[in-house]
Structure formats: C-alpha cells, structure tokens
C-alpha cells in the first residue's frame, strides 16, 4: 500500500515520483485504488530479481519494518491481516510476533473450517518455537498452549495418530509446568487421540 511504502522507505522524499517512474518503465502497476492505493510488480520475474538481489539481512530488515508499519497503520483491523503480518514477521527478525500472528492465522482459518491452511499456520508456529536455540519457561508455556489449540485441527482432519505423537512428544514439558488446568486440558486431548485411534482402528480392522 502507498501509505506503508511511504513509511517503510528510507528515502527522505515523497515516494510518488519514484513510483510513477517505475510505472513508466512498465515495472509496476496499480492493483487497486480502494480502500487505499496499492501497487504490485507487473511481472513476477521482476519481483524475484529484485527480491533475490537483496542480502538476506536486508530482506529481514525490510520484512520487519513492513510488519511493524502495518501494525501501526492497521491497528484496528489486525485480525483481518494476521496472515500478512505472520508472513512478514516470519521472514523478519521477530520470532515472538511471528508465532503470535501464525497462531492467530491458524485460529482464524480453523473458524472458517479451512483445515489445511490452519494446519499450515500452526505447523509454522510450532516449528519456530521448537527450533529456538534456548527455551524459557514462557516459551514452554506458549508451546503447550499452541499444541492444545492445534489439537482441534488434528481432530477435524481425522489425524489421531499425528495428534497422539505430538502430545506424547511434549508430555514431559506439559507436566513440568505444574499447571493443573493446562495439564488437565492437555491430557483430555491426549486421551481423545488415544480413544479415537482405537475406535477408528477397530472400524477399519487395523
């Protein structure tokens, strides 16, 4: 969006003349004018050449800045753009924000019954949390909460084996929280996975 581009760029001049120049060169085109002016590269190849020409640290910096500016400008509708925020922060340098918006995206898509999309977002959040070099008590708490929320996706997808394996692999961490309410919910889902695996196994004769 024009307003985001204007705040993200480090150029100390209005961006409109630069955008018009790129349009004249047939590199950019207007995607929409409502609710706000928005541009896209005219060809995907142009985007790829420009993006891949940046150093990784510069890409991270840009993604981080775009995500931060979007939070500032779209504070009243963050839920509407959580997937986009997840995309930028995942490729930026804010793991905590990336996890937050990935989980929010997972919940949002689950509410729409878009199970594969929801599963993808929860998986990305899980990967980020489990690949962190160190794990604090807060990280463990966040991970267990994520797994509990993710369980409904496994349930609707009928992946009871995957759900059991996920819950089994983090059972010691859940028990180590000394949180009876969370642990109760955790074991409820684990029990559900075991029960449904047994039930479906009998039904299929496996």
pTM for the complete prediction? 0.80
Q: Which residues are 39's β-sheet partners?
A: 30
- Residue 49 confidence (pLDDT): 67
* 197 vs 122, more confident: 122
- pLDDT, residue 152, reads 97
- According to DSSP, the residues that pair with 29 across neighbouring strands are 40
pLDDT greater than 80 at residue 2: no
- Show me where the domains of the chain are located: 134-206
Percent of the chain with pLDDT over 70: 75
> Sign of the C-alpha dihedral, residues 199, 203, 205, 206?
negative
What average pLDDT does the segment 50-56 reach? 73
Q: pLDDT, tens digit, for every residue of 164-182?
A: 999 999 999 999 998 999 9
pLDDT single digits (tens) 125-173:
999 999 988 888 889 999 999 999 999 999 999 999 999 999 999 999 9
Cβ atoms of 41 and 27 closer than 8 Å: yes
| Banded pLDDT at 106 (limits 50, 70, 90) | very high
How far separated are the first and last CA of the chain, in Å rounded? 54
Quick one: what percent of the chain has pLDDT higher than 90?
Answer: 54
Q: How far apart are CA 1 and CA 38, in angstroms?
A: 4
Query: Would the pLDDT of 86 be above 80?
Result: yes
**pLDDT value at residue 204:** 47
pLDDT in tens, 16-33: 676 677 666 666 666 665
DSSP-assigned letter for residue 31: E
Inter-residue contact 164 to 190 (CB < 8 Å)? yes
Q: Tell me the mean pLDDT in the region 105-124.
A: 97
Could you give the CA distance from residue 51 to residue 192 in angstroms, rounded to a whole number?
46
């Amino acid at each position: 969006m024009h307003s985001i581009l204007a705040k993200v760029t480090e150029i100390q001049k209005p961006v409109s003349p630069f955008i018009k120049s790129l349009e004249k060169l047939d590199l950019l085109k207007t995607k929409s004018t409502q609710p706000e002016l928005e541009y896209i590269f005219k060809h995907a190849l142009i985007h790829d050449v420009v993006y891949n020409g940046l150093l990784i640290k510069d890409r991270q910096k840009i993604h981080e800045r775009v995500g931060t500016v979007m939070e500032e400008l779209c504070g009243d509708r963050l839920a509407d753009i959580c997937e986009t925020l997840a995309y930028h922060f995942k490729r930026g340098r804010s793991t905590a924000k990336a996890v937050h918006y990935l989980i929010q995206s997972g919940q949002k898509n689950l509410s729409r019954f878009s199970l594969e999309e929801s599963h993808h977002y929860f998986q990305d959040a899980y990967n980020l949390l489990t690949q962190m070099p160190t794990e604090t008590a807060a990280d463990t708490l966040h991970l267990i909460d994520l797994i509990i929320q993710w369980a409904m996706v496994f349930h609707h997808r009928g992946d009871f084996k995957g759900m059991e394996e996920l819950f089994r692999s983090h059972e010691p961490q859940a028990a180590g929280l000394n949180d009876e309410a969370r642990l109760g919910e955790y074991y409820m889902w684990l029990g559900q996975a075991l029960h449904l695996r047994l039930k479906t196994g009998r039904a299929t004769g496996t």
